[in-house]
Amino acid sequence: MNSTINTFINHRSIRQYKDNPIEAEKLDAIIKAVHHAPTSINGQQVSVIVVTDKEKKSKVAEYTGGQTWIDQAPVFLLFVMDYHRAHLAAKLNGENLVITESIESIMVGSVDVGIALGTAIGAAESLGLGTVPIGGVRKSPEEMIALFELPELVYPVAGLVLGYPKDMSEMKPRIPLSIFKHDNAYNPDQSEALKAYDQQMSDYMVARTGGESNRNWSQGVAGTYKFVYFPKVYPTLKQQGFENAK
C-alpha cells in the first residue's frame, strides 16, 4: 500500500495540540490541494476561511459548544457553502439564480464542502499535522455568520482544526467492512454485524475511559438522532437566501 492510502487509513481525530505554529508553506500546500478539489459542474460552491486570529478562534470554540481544541490549535479552517459567486455569475450573464430556491443547492454545496474537507484532512495529515472536523459550526449559525461577515448565499457547513498533535488519539473502530461495502446492490441485512460492532465499540470505550463508559455505537447514534440537535440551521439557511422550497 502506498503512503497516500496509509495516510487515510491511519486517520484519527486529534483533540490535544502543541503550541507549535504551522509553517506557512504547509498551510499554503493544504489550501492549494483544497483549491484543486473537484466540484459539481465546476461551480466551485465552496470557500475556505483560514482563521488564525486568537480572539476569533476563541469565539468559534464558544459557538461550537466549548470545543477547546479549536482555541488551542494554531489554525482553524471554516468551510462555507458559497453561492455568492454563482449569484455574481448570473448577474454578469443577465440570468436569475434559481438553484438556491431548491434543496438541490444544499445537496450540491454540502457535497462540495465534504470533498474539500476530506481533501484538507488528507493533505494536512500527509504533512504530519493532526486534524479534527467540526460540525458544531452549525450549532450557533447566526453568530458564525456575523463573526465572519458572511453575505447572503454563503453558509457555514463544517470546520477543521489543524495543528501538531500533542497526544495521538487511539484509532476508533469502524463498522465492519462487510456492511460498509455493498456489491452491486444495497444489503439491508446488517443487524447481526452491528451487534458485534456494538460489542467492539463498548470494549473500546471501556479501555479509553478507564471503565467510566461502555457506550456502544448504536446507543450513541440513537441518543443523538432522537432529536434535531442543530435546530437553527433551517431558519438561518432561509435568512441567508436558501429558500429550499423546491
Q: Cα–Cα distance between 138 and 82 in angstroms, integer?
A: 15
pLDDT in tens, 172-222: 999 999 999 999 999 999 999 999 999 999 999 999 999 999 999 999 999
pLDDT in tens, 64-98: 999 999 999 999 999 999 999 999 999 999 999 99
> DSSP character for 23?
P
Angle of CA points 236, 64, 223, to nearest 5°: 90
Angle of CA points 178, 181, 185, to nearest 5°: 110
One-letter amino acid of 27:
L
Q: Cα–Cα distance between 50 and 79 in angstroms, integer?
A: 9
One-letter amino acid of 110:
S
Q: Which residue has the cell 433551517?
A: 234
> DSSP character for 58?
H
- In this prediction, residue 158 has a pLDDT band, given cuts at 50, 70 and 90, of very high
Q: Are 4 and 126 in contact (CB under 8 A)?
A: yes
pLDDT in tens, 26-78: 999 999 999 999 999 999 999 999 999 999 999 999 999 999 999 999 999 99
CB atoms within 10 A of CB 94: 6
Q: Cα–Cα distance between 99 and 108 in angstroms, integer?
A: 10
C-alpha cell at 206: 471501556
Mean pLDDT (the chain) is 97
Tell the CATH topology of 3-171+228-239: NADH Oxidase (3.40.109)
**C-alpha 122: how far from chain center:** 13
pTM over 0.75: yes
pLDDT in tens, 92-146: 999 999 999 999 999 999 999 999 999 999 999 999 999 999 999 999 999 999 9
- CB burial of residue 224 (10 Å; 0-12, 13-18, 19+): exposed
Q: Are 110 and 158 in contact (CB under 8 A)?
A: no
Of 237, 75, 61, nearest in space to 137 by CA: 61
